[in-house]
Structure 1
Amino acid sequence: MVALVIAAHGEMAPALLASAEMIAGPSEDVRAVTFSKSEGPDDLLKKYEDASKELGSDVLFLVDLFGGSPFNAAARFAAAHPGTDVVTGVNLPMLIEVLMSRAVLTDVPALVQQARTSGTAGVCTFSDMNTTSASDAGDDEL
């Protein structure tokens, strides 16, 4: 099973994981990594190395922002570790789908594609979904 590391500024990563587990149930081989104001990229890299040692398999990083410290440190880690990749823009739909897909999608590239698809599909607006306007409504709906 591909291991997951969720990393973000502040307490976002543990909060996302807790929310995902509330919906999808507990998960194995997942670590949430925080990045605080007092830390630098080398601190994150150390956290990633420690998590990877605990997880002991291919790792997919789901991070908050492209170009942010969690991404930069994960990119450094991935460059040195084949079988590792990084996806930015982590959100709750993405995380839930990736967690639930790991049983059938057993390699990092397949999970990367799942993350991209579900993360994007999870961004919706009410106005796009609400295609019936007042002028289209029947008399009995007014």
Structure 2
Amino acid sequence: MKRVSLLFLPIFFFSLSCEEDEELNFIQENYILGKWFVTEIGTVNSNNTIVYEDYINDSECEEDNLVLNQEGTYEENNFEFISSNCQNDQITGTYILDNNKIVQTYTDSGGQLKQKVLTIVALTYEEINLSYTDNEINKIVFLKLRK
């Protein structure tokens, strides 16, 4: 009887360890915090390869950026030079980090609550690669950003 019990003991501990592994979050939240500047934008070509191009900011304005704050708020700044003025089409809201996804929640100009999901493709302390679905063109867009 003791032999049978001893055989089941390792199986029990293995099943516990598997359940705990599913709960792990591999993205450290402090790595995503800060002001990120868009450097490249990519799309998938006909060969299913991601092709990146330099992201061109309006030279008269500040660089487009994404700011992720520690308290779970964010701002997206998209600058454009219009009628001799630099204008910021800013979006602000809250975000949560859900494993490898940054889920942004914001209110659009029409007053409707919206969500945008950014998938973290690669992350270091200085660089982040993101992807998201652009609903206007119905395609996946890839972004490279640097601090």
TM-score (norm 1): 0.32
TM-score (norm 2): 0.31
Relative contact order (C-alpha < 8 Å, sep 6+): which is higher? 1
* More helix by percentage: 1
Structure of greater Rg: 2
